[in-house]
Amino acid sequence: MTPPDPRIAKRLLIGLGAVVVIAAVVNIGSGTESRSAGYVAPPVVTAPPTTTRPPKPCQVDPGPYSGQDKCNQTGEVVTVSAVLDSASFTTTDGRTVRLLGVAPLSEKECDRAAPYLRNLIGDKSVMLFTEPGRDKDGKGKLLRYVKYISDPVNTPGKYTADVGYEIVEAGYGRPEGETNWRYQNWLEIGFQLGDAKHAQAKGRAEYDGYQIDDRCVTRTREPEPDYDDPDDVDVPDVDRPNLPDGALTGGFCRRKWYC
């Protein structure tokens, strides 16, 4: 009988040792089999359920109309049938409405004013709000604050933007003091903000080599009226001969930048 080759026996021993090592590693990796009987697993921590906050209820401003209250939807809804000028329009039920607090511009004063308002609210529904003690002007037009739906995608059916503010900010009308003080201040802010925005845009346009339309009304310039000013009259200079003609009545300096 031939004795076993010692090299084969050595290989068998090495292979058997490798199998033992692998089995030990697998047993350590399984974890739980090698732990003591008194081991207690830590509790599983779960995240608390997420809760969404309910939307904040819309609070209506209890004060006088300011043009900034987006929650007040208690006005009268009408549909615009025709735009007359930069601050007046007719409704489908036959009434004529003028924007309260905004002095309208005629076609001669600004030919872009009426088209701007027509693009804003023409053939659309608007919401009217009244001012106590101010119902109609001298021509029988209803004096109303007017809101329109400015964002029909995100706020459909919500009248959130004030038309008068849009007109004076764009320079197609001037504020006039026939409203409550809150709304008058809001229009003045819009008027000045529009001046600043236009000056910035005009400077950028001129730098880029093109022109944009001027505002019809600015803080330092107003359009020439389309009528003869009855206040511009001459009076004799008696006591103060250095005064220009009309200065005693205010006619000469009426709406002049140098007075």
pTM equals 0.63
Element (H, E) at 222: none
What 221-228 contacts at long range (C-beta under 8 Å, 24+ apart), as own/partner pairs, is: 221/257, 222/174, 222/255, 223/105, 223/109, 223/110, 224/109, 225/109, 226/106, 226/108, 226/109
- The pLDDT tens digits for 232-255 are 444 444 444 454 444 444 444 444
- Residue 121's pLDDT is what? 96
- Residue 54's pLDDT is what? 74
Sketch the domain layout of the chain as residue ranges.
76-208, 228-259
What sign results for the dihedral spanned by CA atoms 148, 151, 157, 159? negative
- Name the stretches of the chain with pLDDT < 50: 32-33, 229-241, 243-259
C-alpha–C-alpha distance, residues 68 and 50, integer Å:
34
Q: Which residues neighbour 116 within 8 Å (Cβ) at sequence distance 6 or greater?
A: 86, 167, 170, 172
Cross-strand pairs, 97: 89, 142
Which CATH code fits 76-208? Answer: 2.40.50.90
